[in-house]
Amino acid sequence: MSETEPLDRLTAHYGIEPAFTDNWGRRHEVSTATKRALLAAMGVPVASAAELRASLERAEAAAWREVLPPVAVVREGAPLAPTVTLPAKLGGRLAWTVETEDGRRRRDAAVVGELEVVDQRQVAGRERRRLRLPLPLKLPQGYHRLAVTAGQRPPAAMTLIVTPERAFGPADLGAGQRSWGVTAPLYGLRSEQNWGIGDFADLGALAQAMAGRGAALVGVNPVHALFPALPERISPYSPSSRRFLNVLRISIEQALHLDWASDLAPPLAASRAELERLRAAPLVDYPAVAKLKLRALEQLHRAFARCSADSPAGRQFRAFQARSGPSLGRQALFDALLEHFERLDPAQVSWRGWPASYRRPDGAAALSFAREHTERIAFFEFLQWLADEQLGAAQATARTAGMPIGLYLDLAVGVDPDGADAWAEQEVVASGVRIGAPPDDFSPKGQDWGLAPLAPHALRAQAYAPFVELLRQNMRHAGALRIDHVLGLRRSFWLPPERDVPGAYVRYPLADLLGLIALESHRQGCVVIGEDLGTVPEGFRATLTEAGLLGCRVLYFEQEEPGRFRSPASYPEACLASISTHDLPTLRGFWLGRDIEWRERLGLFADPAQAGRERAERARLRTGLLRLLAAEGLLPPKLDPDRPPADLPWSVVLALHRALARSPARIVVMQLEDALGVVEQANLPGTMAEHPNWRRRLMVALEELAAEPGVRSLAAAIAEGRREMALDATAAIGDK
């Protein structure tokens, strides 16, 4: 065995790809340092040659010592034939039992010597065989259990997951062949009832208003749990937990209308002066909002605690606790611990700096803290229940108002390594590494998103239970769910802890994960959109389409060649189409080059001359957009594509959205910011405090949005484009 062979075999075993090709076609061989660093982050000892060999032996032997694998994911109707690994000399009968999800059992036996041998290997000097065990069953969709017993050996068991072929789609919801919706910055909504930040009551009101304009859905950025004790940590894409909700999105005013809270309004009225200041502010003041809302939420919790356990509210809370399982208690414990340690030392923002016995949920000190602070932990559980109730109410409002899809929620690609999921799920969350991306046209130096990924080998060992829980929690109140960076289902670019060591791709079990998404999407009645922008491996989008997921198409990126935009008629059906996203400039900001101005001002261009080149390219793109409209027969009168106006005419905004709406895309969305003529974008990638990311508030109040001229006219333009697409499709069918 060569010196590098053990390392190469071990990296292959754990799914670390040996090389990758970047956006310019250049091949990068993954270094020895990167391989060692990523293996170490997965908990694999590789510090010395001896450790490396021992780890390889353990890893390869473990797969041959397990009688059954932890899990098998199969499509409904496919043959059920899991593998069983046994000593080669073992004969006799193999008894098996399948227990279905609903508790039914089927028992039978097979003769070991009659089973097909698919592989064999010597382990510790003894021959072992891998046999195929055909199960003469037709199992329904769901989560089932297989147990086998051979000879005098103890029983072994595995999870059998049977999934549909395709995910739940818009047609399953009765959403029609062509729908449209609106995306909005939830935090930035203004209303007469919110407390300086958009909340779940605002979300329901927005859905109701846009349903009246014909929208099928309303989308927002992730509403995952952040850090109540650290309100300055505001990025929705760097959550503490993806399984629970951001408690600052709770509407205090909506909660005050609950039976058990109705007598709290007068005591809370003392905060009205501060409320008015926060409501009038142009930017969300997260620390002030958190201070005010958490104080009010504590009063609400005290009122709730006076309810009888047998009251309707008490029963609903207990049902939420039961449904959430142990994860809820760990989330609440983490929030209480973080609050405790932040008060002791405001600079202590990571659980890795806590005393050792607090660094795990089952640590002695953590358990002792939980026993001594039951009321505070109950408070954080109460907050999650209240948030869940209000998000569910927002979806109910959307559907009642006539939206066939309703809420379009967003699943972040990973979690903050300082957060609750990384603390509570250390066996699954690989918090020693960060997710990112290799260099491409938009990020020549590559990207470091600072997020912790799920470890694929650990997911499999737990029969994908953490991933299933993640899907259920996020689909629970969603008519549609966007999976951020869906390419991560196939492979994810991991960056080692050492900042000077380059990254590498780690493979994930794509077919299994798509099967689980399909199963849970049908159970939850949730359409799934995969954000598939960026460098996409060949064939990946076709795989997503076959699995029933919609992809994404963004007008800015749809160019046949630089400056020449592709006709929306060429977009695929299986996608959600938009002009921009939260990470890109608004349409007016794009036209004006405001993003270029910001990057130049903040010194984000490595080459000072880059800003000038970007402006020249943007001028070409303005011309390209007008030429697109001309080709679509939608160019407004008196506009010359070769002489675009300095500012963006509203007629061009309407025409571009109408052109987009004519695409075959199943769903088309408009950004609320574009309807209001907003220049500044929500988030400027590559910045934190330098740019007011996730803080800008809309200048039009929610109560006035439905009647706002820009919203009305843009909604009408999109609806007209959708009708035109439907007529074209009908005509095409008639021609055949």
pTM: 0.95
Q: How confident is the model at residue 124 (pLDDT cuts 50, 70, 90)?
A: confident
Mean of pLDDT over the chain: 94
Q: How far is CA 39 from CA 56, 340, 455, in A?
A: 11, 34, 11
Q: Is the pLDDT of residue 286 over 90?
A: yes
Phi and psi (nearest 5°) for 608?
Answer: -55, -25
pLDDT for residue 214 is more than 90: yes
Please give the full DSSP string across 591-615, using - where no structure is assigned: HHTHHHHHHHHTT--SSTTHHHHHH
pLDDT tens-digit profile of 601-637? 999 888 889 999 999 999 999 999 999 999 999 999 9
Quick one: average pLDDT of 395-417?
97
Q: Tell me the per-residue pLDDT of 39-62, one tens digit each, with 9 for 90 and over.
A: 999 999 999 999 999 999 999 999
Cα–Cα dist 211/490, whole Å: 36
Which residue carries 């990946």 as its tokens?
A: 540
pLDDT at 551 over 70: yes
Q: What is the pLDDT of residues 574-603, one digit of tens each?
A: 999 999 999 999 999 999 999 999 999 999
What confidence score (pLDDT) does residue 726 get? 66
Task: Give the model confidence (pLDDT) of 520-537 as tens digits.
Answer: 999 999 999 999 998 788
Task: Look at residue 175 in the predicted model and tell me its pLDDT.
Answer: 56
* Domains of the chain with CATH codes: 5-64 (no CATH), 77-163 (2.60.40.10), 227-389 (no CATH)
Cβ contact 133:82 at 8 Å: yes
Q: What is the mean pLDDT of residues 100-105?
A: 96
Cα 669 to Cα 79, 429, 659, 722: the distances in Å are: 41, 33, 12, 11
Sorting pLDDT into bands at 50, 70 and 90, what band is 2?
A: low
**pLDDT, tens digit (0-9, with 9 covering 90-100), for 428-443:** 999 789 999 887 665 6
Q: What's the rounded mean pLDDT across residues 369-393?
A: 98
pLDDT at 736 over 50: no
For the ranges 93-102, 147-156, 467-476, 703-712, the lowest mean pLDDT is seen at: 147-156
Q: Which residues are paired to 491 by β-bridges? A: 507
